[in-house]
Amino acid sequence: MVQRFENLEIDLLKQVADKIRKISPRTVCLLINRANGRLNFVCGVTDDLIKEMGLKAGDLVREVAKVTGGGGGGRPHLATAGGKDTGKLPEAIEKLRELIRQSQK
């Protein structure tokens, strides 16, 4: 699940990602916020996907942010990152999809 927002507080996005994790099984969510010409990413991964596929929010969000000239990380279930190049957002989203596909092999 990918959702874009404008000018929201990062703490609110963390709460939303955590809620999604708890109510939606087998889910990776990437919440993207654009504010002040920069990107903020919040990634959540459900416990079942962490165990079954080895997906980790910190790893996913770090790779997504790299595409936009940024970085970040966090825990396996919830992580944050930032990016500078808003024009690279479509490539960053595709990177997330690619990483998930690779983990399914």
Q: pLDDT by residue (tens digit) across 2-40?
A: 999 999 999 999 999 999 999 999 999 999 999 999 999
Give the span between the Cα atoms of 28 and 36, in whole angstroms.
26
For residue 56, pLDDT over 70 is answered with yes
- Which pTM value belongs to this model? 0.94
Give the span between the Cα atoms of 38 and 94, in whole angstroms.
19
Give the span between the Cα atoms of 105 and 84, in whole angstroms.
31
Domain 2-103 class in CATH: alpha beta
Candidates 47, 48, 69, 71; CA nearest to 58 is: 71
